[in-house]
Amino acid sequence: MNKQELYVFLDGQKIKYTAIEHIPVFTVEEAEQLQLPNPEAGAKNMFLRDDKKKNYYLLTVRDALAVDLKQFQEKIGSRRLSFASEEDLMRFLALKKGAVTPFGVLNDKECAVQVYIDAYFENKTISVHPNENNATVYLAANDLVELLRVHGNKVEYIELG
């Protein structure tokens, strides 16, 4: 699902959102240079796998949060974690490096990726890419969680810091 298909999908699901088009950004630092509205809604995403390449996770946290992978691993009861490869990112989420987003989970046909979203966002607005890194979508985090759950993926809020 590309950006335009995602917008049509969100409209069809009657999900309220605002999309802002911008130049492609690959890092949180580049996104901050854009001075987008609601910086407190900013999220960064990590696509992770365990050391046996059996379990894959998408972790979405607030921009400013320093993530301790060992702490996250312990909280979810996982084996040792590391970043998944670009090939796995494409295979599971149909995304390119620099465009990682929870919306990519909608491309996960096998619902194999487990999603964890920073509890900071519960009942708040979150901003994420719409499967491409040249736009940012603002929506209620609870709507995002429900959308991914209905798709069939395991999604949980997690307290990390």
Nearest alpha carbon to residue 56 among 12, 86, 104, 88:
88
Is this prediction's pTM over 0.75?
yes
By the 8 A CB rule, do 84 and 122 touch?
A: no
SS3 content of the chain, % helix, strand, coil (to 5): 35, 25, 40
Strand order in the sheet with 125-128: 17-21, 135-140, 125-128
> pLDDT of 13-24, one tens digit each?
999 999 999 998
Q: Which domains does the chain have, with CATH numbers?
A: 3-158 (3.90.960.10)
Using CB atoms within 10 A of its CB, is residue 126 exposed (0-12), middle (13-18) or buried (19+)? buried
> pLDDT of 141-159, one tens digit each?
999 999 999 999 999 999 9
**147 Rama sector, left if φ>0, alpha if ψ -120 to 50, beta otherwise:** alpha
What's the whole-number average pLDDT of the chain? 95
Token pair belonging to 66:
């320093």
